[in-house]
Amino acid sequence: MKRRLLYAFAAVAVALLVSCETGGGPPSWDEATLASCWDGPNAEIRMMNILSPLMPDATFSERVQWMRGRGCNTAHVFLVNRANGDHAGYSPWGVGVGPSAAPCDARTVSLMRSRILHLRHSGFAVVAWIMSDDSAPWARALASDASACLARISEAGLLDDASTVVAGLEMDEYWGASEAARVIAACRAVYGGVIGVHHTDGRAPFAGLGDVLFYQTAPGRTAAQIAAETRRALATGKPVNFFELDRHANRALAEAALDAGAFGVGNW
């Protein structure tokens, strides 16, 4: 009970600070448009891991500055990441600790919230991804008790400043339809905004469960092929963020996706 009261107090305090310094709540989902989530050879540098307690503050600041220098208005961040990229191995429950019905770790949450607040003060919309790929054991743990796990994440205030919540990266890699539906229902129970879904290359089996389709394709495509893939994704009837179309920043392909009707991109 004391921990929950601490979370509640901290969440209110942070919300007031964000409201005062950014002019209100988070940007709407369709204003979270331009992000650049990977840099280096074969996406070795992962911007989505910037909430990790394993990432030094200096590295966090460098990556925020890099995104700002790219002209991004949005930061995508993982909340639970067992093994995806540099500084992986964290969740709101702590370093090396996966999801559970237990309360989140107060120190870890404090760091994650302070970095989200920094992003908002820096002018970024924040898209919160509940689960990364390469995290199947933790993904199964979260899906097995989705309502309790999402309740703990929400109580920790980690969704308060999100313009969009995405259930997971490459969800079809570790969840079946029933598990995906259970996690998304749990997200909706604690978050009143737009819910996104994301799948492996060229796939969209859970598109109907979400409000927004975050789409990806394998690298090596031409601008014409990206435009065609965008139209294919839009045929699901969902707004499309062409989230991954290369393994590093690629302005030309990002513009091709936007020109074809995507509202946002992840390789800006």
Cα-based distances in Å from 137 to 89, 109, 126: 12, 21, 26
pLDDT of the residue at 24 = 79
Q: Is the pTM of this model over 0.85?
A: yes
Distance CA 99, CA 33 (A): 29
Angle 167-188-142 from CA coordinates, rounded to 5°:
45
Contacts of 103 (CB under 8 A, 6+ apart): 3, 4, 152, 155
Amino acid identity of residue 115, one-letter, is R
Structure tokens at 239: 């707004």
Cβ proximity of 219 and 233 under 8 Å: no
- pLDDT at residue number 23: 57
pLDDT of 85: 97
From 10, 266, 12, select the one nearest 125 (Cα to Cα): 266
**What average pLDDT values come out for the chain (268 residues) when binned by 10 residues?**
41 43 82 98 96 98 98 98 98 98 98 98 99 98 98 98 98 98 98 98 98 98 98 98 98 98 98
The superfamily CATH assigns to domain 2-265 is: Glycosidases (3.20.20.80)
